[in-house]
Copies of this chain bind each other. A is one copy, B any other.
């Protein structure tokens, strides 16, 4: 049920074809929030047209068809965004891995935790660079798509980094070793 809202959201930025939308999912949106390939996108676009949430906007070369969001579509998206998620079914593999850490012996768990510390550090550097400088403002007086989400990502990775270091300390406590020093 989420793909349709991703599509409505992208189309509410500007009209686009299925091909354009597939490319949009290959950027930050797709890597951090929701991914979909053209094979899922085309059938869903057809359904959205059926339901009157988007409409055919233009026909271009090579069979290119662009779609635009309708008023009904805008309303539908707005309702969804304003309705707080109902604690729905969770399927979060990275978090599952953290839960299962206690199934590893301490040496292996340390390996995993150091990996997390390292990779989150890299992500922080990347995102921090992307967000350096002033708050950007689009000509229409809105925040650019993804700017707020990037800020969220940055804080999440900082939290993950903090956590990994704390967890290494916790592990040291129960194995009664002196704190490991890793450069």
User: Do B93 and A9 touch (CB < 8 A)?
Assistant: no
User: Do B78 and A88 touch (CB < 8 A)?
Assistant: no
Say whether A56 faces chain B, with CB atoms less than 8 Å apart. no
User: Do A166 and B137 touch (CB < 8 A)?
Assistant: no
The residues of B that contact A103 with a CB separation of less than 8 Å are: 8-9, 12-13, 77-78, 81
The residues of B that contact A99 with a CB separation of less than 8 Å are: 6, 9, 29, 32-33, 145-146, 149
User: Do A170 and B147 touch (CB < 8 A)?
Assistant: yes
The residues of B that contact A135 with a CB separation of less than 8 Å are: 170, 173-174
User: Do A162 and B170 touch (CB < 8 A)?
Assistant: no
The residues of B that contact A182 with a CB separation of less than 8 Å are: none
Among the listed B35, B88, B92, B119, which residue makes an inter-chain contact with A33, where contact means beta carbons less than 8 Å apart?
A: B92
Among the listed B33, B160, B174, which residue makes an inter-chain contact with A142, where contact means beta carbons less than 8 Å apart?
A: B174
Known: A82-B111, A112-B82. A90 touches B32 (CB 8 A): yes
Q: In the complex, which residue of chain B has the Cβ closest to the Cβ of A176? A: B141
User: Do A152 and B95 touch (CB < 8 A)?
Assistant: yes
Closest chain-B Cβ to A33's Cβ sits at a distance in Å of 4
Say whether A178 faces chain B, with CB atoms less than 8 Å apart. no
Known: A5-B100, A12-B103, A81-B97. A92 touches B156 (CB 8 A): no
- 4 additional A-B pairs beyond A95-B149, A147-B170, beta carbons within 8 Å, are A5-B100, A81-B100, A84-B119, A135-B174
In the A-B complex, the 6 residue pairs with the smallest Cβ-Cβ separation, listed nearest first, are A9-B100, A159-B159, A155-B159, A33-B96, A33-B95, A99-B149
User: 12 A-B contacts, Cβ less than 8 Å apart?
Assistant: A9-B103, A33-B95, A33-B96, A77-B100, A78-B103, A81-B100, A82-B104, A85-B97, A99-B145, A101-B149, A135-B174, A137-B174
